[in-house]
Amino acid sequence: MIRSLLLLVIAVMLLPSCKPKTTTEMNPLLTEWKTPFQVPPFEEIQPDHYMPAFKKAMEEHKKEVEAIIQNKETAAFENTIVALDLSGKLLDKVTGAFYPINGANTNPEIQAVNREVSPLLTKHRDDIGLNPQLFERIKVVWENRETASLTKPQQMLLERSYKNFIRSGADLPEDQKEQLRTINERLSSLGVKFSENLLAETNDFKLIIENEKDLEGLPEREINRAAELAYKLDMKGKWAFSLQKPSWIPFLQYAKNRDLREKIYRAYFMRCNNNNEYDNKEILKEIINLRVERAHLLGYESHAGYVLELNMAKNPETVFDFLKKVWEYALPVARQEAVAQQEIIDREEGDSKLASWDWWYYTEKITKEKYDLDEEETRPYMAMLNVQQGMFDLATKLYGITFKELTDIPKYHPEIQCFEVFDKDGSHLGVLYTDWHPREGKRVGAWSTSFRRARYEDGKKIFPVISMVGNFSRGTGDKPALLTFEEVGIMFHEFGHAIHSLFNDVPYPGLGRVPRDFVELPSQIMEHWILEPEVLAMFAKHYETGEVIPEELVEKIKAAANFNQGFLTVEYIAASLLDMEYHSLTEPSVYDVLVFEKEAMDKYKLIEEILPRYRSTYFSHIIGGYSAGYYSYSWSEQLDSDAFEAFKETGDIFNQEVAARFREYVLSKGRSDDPALLYRNFRGKDPSIEALLRNRGFIE
């Protein structure tokens, strides 16, 4: 009895030291991460952690901004511009942990968070960007810039900060500020809905095949993959094809059944255009018209004029001129390609007319007939993990960086790999995640993103945590994941973005983002190395025998490298022109997006056998960060084609002196100086469109 009482007393005495954890202490997004390299503790983070963390982070950010406003000292570069640039660290941490997951591994709970937080973040940004007291301090620093003795990066940060506030509406009268807030919040909600509809519509469609005869022409690998998908859908004994690119593209390439080719392609290009709950026509119409209204409020004729002011192109006229020049070379080639395909149809079938869903099928036939090249011959040499290792080895030869796989580190999905990246001197450079396979919670396409961007704190480098994401088919049976050459290009492309992020070394976070039409240079240049024999020898090894891809097969690939460039260029430029036509409107005059799209394509005489790479209702690039900017891939191709010629001219595609200059001026400096000047410092001259045209085989 006495012993029991004693234990009870001890327990009561201990109670004060066992206080329940506060909400902040229980939320992993609001605590210090003790994970390796302080990566997000993915296994601990639950969907219901996000909203409290977002709200807490926005609250802290507001306090930091208020402290800048209330500072009694005269506004100066350090106490205003730098202080603002460094504010919002917790918000950066939370958004960095949320948005990459929402894109690559979402679910209904995370999507609900996105819907709720999107307008809140928009309001939060507007509260800062439209704050008159904060803007007054920034304006004081701007007006005193001539006497401030600022370095070039400091000048760039000041100019960027001042222009951002002007472009955010800080100088508008109060009634127009409120109008701008309303537009921004509405655009934010519409953008979220557009993306959710696209993901749902993409996931909803499956082409189910019950008759084995309808699989005629398809390689065994694709048949096995379709059987696996059907099995997962509880349709054992059938075959299923989805609207994920690794599924529908091979079906269009190989399936002999033309009606089924039409069915799956029509499902693809009719996404969010079916007058159902996922329809995006009215959403896009409202987005385009609201963007015109916002541009007018901010003093611009069009949304494109607003966007392009900060890009290398500077204005819509320059972009249209550039796109039209490429179009003039590409469209005649595409017409010739269509004639060649129609000749095969006439020879083999007699009474059919080439349609958009036939293009891949007859392109594959011509490739075999003209170049004796079958994609199935190359696939065994393109094992995904070999390709990944090959691009790592290429980076080692160019920049001296190395990669070590990390197995004991948090991941947001079991399929993901993670690597520590070391600089050429052996020091830590960053962490890199790779996530290559499709799943229901992942949006389509491929991209590179960051859980944490590189920055400096109190003079100490905070290293980045980067992720590369794709949608490449998994292996089947005892075969590993085998890529097409297009997919190899996609992997190298995203790796270029990742290297850009890893090498980022700017003194202020606000200088880390380069213009949209410059950002594709680091990614697209990586694609130029793929067909070089020395690089192929690094990764193009047969998955069973280890044999390096035969020289004879490489020669076939090279011979066919510029085949179908008319189609590839035209479908891309068509989408770029569609983007520019929407965003160059000077009045909110879109009443029917389908009519607008048709009239735009008719204007440029797009042939009916080719559709724009992205039609209006699923053109997610222009809902995200590429509005009036989809042209950027082609614009950057001027730069990357010219930049790769700098390596070729030395006779050494791994020339480390050229690579060092490329790292110094292109990959590490961000927006510390004018991008055109940085490129000239690297190359010694301006790029030209001729390099792009040579790269695509349009000129010698």
Where in the sequence numbering do the catalytic residues fall? Answer: 494
At residue 452's C-alpha, the angle toward residues 192 and 481, to 5°, is 75
Neighbouring C-beta atoms of residue 102, cutoff 10 Å: 19
CB 389 within 8 A of CB 539: yes
CB 617 within 8 A of CB 279: yes
Nearest to 529 by CA among 502, 501, 563, 499: 499
- What are the phi and psi torsion angles at 430 (to 5°)? 160, -175
Nearest to 444 by CA among 598, 583, 179, 621: 621
H or E stretch at 387? helix 384-399
At residue 146's C-alpha, the angle toward residues 141 and 150, to 5°, is 75
How many residues belong to the chain? 700
Dmax over CA atoms of the chain, in Å, equals 103
DSSP-assigned beta bridge partners for residue 457: 460
DSSP for 122-174, please give it: HHHHHHHHT-HHHHHHHHHHHHTGGGS---HHHHHHHHHHHHHHHHTTTTS-H
440: which residues sit within 8 A by CB, 6+ positions away?
A: 203
Q: What is the 3-state secondary structure (H, E, C) of 409-478?
A: CCCCCCCCEEEEEECCCCCEEEEEEEECCCCCCCCCCCEEEEEECCEEECCEEECCEEEEECCCCCCCCC
- What are the phi and psi torsion angles at 482 (to 5°)? -115, 130
476: which residues sit within 8 A by CB, 6+ positions away?
A: 221, 224, 225, 228
CB 82 within 8 A of CB 508: yes
**Residue 681, both tokens:** 């410092």
Using CA atoms, how far apart are residues 87 and 82, in angstroms rounded to an integer?
Answer: 9
How far apart, in Å, are the Cα atoms of 9 and each of 2, 13, 14, 249?
Answer: 11, 6, 9, 73
Q: What is the 3-state secondary structure (H, E, C) of 274-306?
A: CCCCCCCHHHHHHHHHHHHHHHHHCCCCCHHHH
CB 434 within 8 A of CB 468: yes
How far apart, in Å, are the Cα atoms of 528 and each of 190, 468, 523, 524, 648?
Answer: 38, 19, 10, 7, 10
How far apart, in Å, are the Cα atoms of 96 and each of 62, 103, 394, 532, 687?
Answer: 19, 12, 29, 36, 35
